[in-house]
Every structure is written in C-alpha cells, then in structure tokens.
Amino acid sequence: MSWNIHPSDILLNEDQIQSGVERVALEISNTFPTNEPLLMIGVLNGAFIFLSDLCRRIQRDIAVDFIQISSYGQNLCSSGNITIKKDISLSVFGRSIILVEDIIDSGHSMVFLQQYFALKGAKKIYVCTFLDKKDRREVPLNIDFCGFTIPNHFVVGYGLDAKEQHRCLPYVAIINEEKE
Ligand code: IMP
Ligand code: MG
C-alpha cells in the first residue's frame, strides 16, 4: 500500500526543518564546553538524516555511533519488550552522550535506551529528538533538545517512515492511517 502525499499534508517544510535543526545545534553547542568529549548516538533507522544534518552544524568535535532497537510496527505502542538489534561499537563508559531520535511517542523506547546506557556506565545521558508527540507520552521523560513538538498524527519524511515508505522526503508530512 502506498500513501499519496498532497501539499496540504505537509506539516514542516524544508526551511522550517532547517531552522529547527540550526536552533537545536546552537543549543547543543552552547550547552557543552568545547573541551568536553561528546558522543552522539543515533537511533536507527529514523534518526540518520536528522543526526547527519545536526552534527554538521555543531561547532565542535563529535564522535558519532548508532544503535537499532526492535520496532513494533507503526500502529502500535511499544511494549516493555524492546530488544537491541544493532549495538554501538564505541564505549560510553564515563562519557557524556546525546541520544538522538527521530520522534518520541509513548517514550518507552527512549526510557529503555536511557536505562541501557546508564547500565553501560555513561556519565550523563542527554535526549535529543527531532519531533516530540508530547500528548502520546505514557512514561515520564525529560527531553533536553527538541526540534518540534507536533500534534498526535502519524508523520513521515526527513528520516521517518511508514513501512519503509517516504523516509527520504525532505519535508515532514502527515499520513492518514485509514488509507492503509
Ligand atoms: P515510542 O517508544 O512510542 O516513543 O516510539 C518511538 C518510535 O516509534 C520512533 O523512534 C519511531 O520509530 C516510531 N514512531 C512513532 N511515531 C511515529 C510517526 O509518526 N512516524 C514514524 N515513526 C513513528
Ligand atoms: Mg526511531
């Protein structure tokens, strides 16, 4: 099944996205002293576009790694049953890390990742997300850096997919799940 995207479905256009990324990059640049080693960990697959734009706008040296966790299908909420599909290669022990997500929905995935990296000995764990569907939260979660808070719609583009479709769109659009 494919979803057609009409101009009226666009929630964030390219210019809006790029100014949001610039703002988040500035916030991150201003938060960390330039002599502090910083590691950004992107959550695959969705965060790869946001992270690649973001890290090129941050005025400091950054190490980058990626992790992938089990997904649960876009129509469902994550259960407590999350597993690691691909782990990072770098060590987080004693380091400040920034976890970079495409979108935070229920919050279960991010809480799982915070606990996972705390157990691996990360010194401080920051949360950065491109999008936040705040109204959907099921667990308390503090977000340190956020691109945009959005209403409760299923969105695609700029890294976010619906069954692997529309991930590489340069904008973010709402798709109507009833069309599935
Ligand atoms: P959470 O554990 O419920 O916070 O789920 C977060 C994950 O669900 C994200 O990393 C996405 O992979 C996926 N997700 C949640 N909402 C959307 C959406 O609107 N579009 C695409 N993926 C989504
Ligand atoms: Mg994701």
Residue 166 to residue 141: CA distance in whole angstroms: 28
Pocket flag, ligand 1, residue 112 (CB < 6 Å): no
| 3, HSE (Cβ side, Cα atoms, 13 Å) | 24
Per-residue tokens: 144: 């340190």
- Is the CB of residue 160 less than 8 Å from the CB of residue 104? no
Q: What's the gap in Å between 122 CA and the centre of ligand 1?
A: 24
Task: Confirm whether pTM is higher than 0.85.
Answer: yes
* Residue ranges covered by each domain of the chain: 15-152
Q: For residue 105, give the ligand 1 atom closest to its CA.
A: 4
- Domain at 15-152, CATH from 3.30.2020.30, 1.25.10.10, 3.40.50.720, 3.40.50.2020: 3.40.50.2020
Per-residue exposure over 148-160, b if at least 16 CB sit within 10 Å of its own CB, e if not: bebeeebbbbbbb
Q: What is the pLDDT of residue 69?
A: 96
Q: For residue 107, give the ligand 1 atom closest to its CA.
A: 4
Burial of 143 (0-12, 13-18, 19+ CB in 10 A): middle
Q: Which are the catalytic amino acids?
A: 105
Q: Which residues of the chain, if any, have pLDDT below 50? A: 73-76, 179-180
- Is the CB of residue 43 less than 8 Å from the CB of residue 160? no
Return residues with CB closer than 5 A to ligand 2 (ion).
Answer: 43, 46, 102
Q: What's the gap in Å between 78 CA and the centre of ligand 1?
A: 9
Residue of the nearest CA to atom 8 in ligand 1? 105
Mutate to test the pocket of ligand 1, among 105, 135, 174 (most ligand atoms within 8 A of CB): 105
Secondary-structure percent of the chain, ordered helix, strand, coil, rounded to 5: 25, 30, 45
Locate tokens 């995935």: which residue? 109
Instruction: List, in sequence order, the alpha helices (H) in 74-149.
Output: 108-119
Per-residue tokens: 48: 């790869």
Residue of the nearest CA to atom 10 in ligand 1? 103
